[in-house]
Amino acid sequence: MKCDCDEFVSPDSSASSVCLKDLRIFDGVTEEDFKRFSGIGIRKIFRPGEALFVQGGPINAVFAIKAGRIRLSKVLEDGTEITLDYRKAGDLVGEEAFSRRVDYPLTAWAMEETMTCGFGVSDFNRLILDNPDLGLKLIRNMSNRILSLNSRLGSATAGNLEDRVFRVLSNIASEHGRKTSRGYSIAFPLTHEDLSYLVGAHRVSITKALKRLRSIGKVVKEDNRFIVPEALAGD
């Protein structure tokens, strides 16, 4: 089944070939089942710096990123905003809608012009009520995703600080990197403060760990961008 979004993305865009039907949450959903989503689909384009949804706002939609990039952030009680994750074309955001939450726990910011395809929660819920077998498939897939995320979290907190910093940079480079002669260059600047929140360590400690990683060649910094050698990206 052809993705209708392809008609709205320019040929030179870094759009993903991934459509809603290709996301893990829809594993096992038949083409016939998926056609039911065509009537509730929402297509939107967000400008850089525009929010798809905001922390504390009512959960009303789920988005698949067709083109562009998203930063997920959270404001703490003291007013500090921290970056928790980045999402690229082909990823899903707003999946909290599948839980029993009523408001978004995070804010999703467009880092560049971003096109999304998704569906409203109320329309989705009606669809599931009318098609309980489809609902059971999605619940099973979401359970598998939660198990995968828990495993990833355990891996991210294991090992010494240098290993954890490198693991975070390596994962970001493999997902958001551009291949260069020196390796995979992360497509956007990352501050030491950003990394301190992503890794869960003090900024001063992050600075020391990065200095060590750069001295042994596991990480390169060029034009305010981190580069991970190709042979190491994704390790």
Q: What angle do CA 175, 187, 191 make, to 5 degrees?
A: 100
- 129 to each of 70, 132, 134, 143, how far by Cα in Å? 31, 6, 9, 19
pLDDT digits (tens, 9 = 90+) for 21-61: 666 666 666 777 666 666 666 788 999 999 999 999 998 88
What is the pTM for the complete model shown? 0.67
Cross-strand pairs, 74 = 82
**Res. 235: pLDDT tops 60:** no
Q: What distance in Å separates the CA atoms of residue 96 and residue 107, rounded to the nearest whole number?
A: 12
Residue of higher predicted confidence among 40 and 195: 195
Residues 6+ apart with CB under 8 A from 80: none
Question: Which CATH superfamily is 4-156 part of?
Answer: Jelly Rolls (2.60.120.10)
Which pLDDT belongs to residue 175? Answer: 82
Cβ atoms of 199 and 168 closer than 8 Å: yes
The SS3 assignment for 3 reads coil
Q: What is the dihedral sign for C-alpha 192, 149, 186, 165?
A: positive
**Class of 161-228 in CATH:** mainly alpha
- In the chain, which residues fall in CATH 1.10.10.10? 161-228
Q: What distance in Å separates the CA atoms of residue 223 and residue 1, rounded to the nearest whole number?
A: 42
Q: What distance in Å separates the CA atoms of residue 124 and residue 142, rounded to the nearest whole number?
A: 15
| Residue 5, number of CB atoms within 10 A of its CB | 19
- In the chain, which residues fall in CATH 2.60.120.10? 4-156
pLDDT digits (tens, 9 = 90+) for 170-193: 888 888 888 888 889 998 888 888
Query: How long, in residues, is the chain?
Result: 235
Residue of higher predicted confidence among 124 and 176: 176
Range name among 8-22, 160-174, 188-202 with the lowest pLDDT average: 8-22
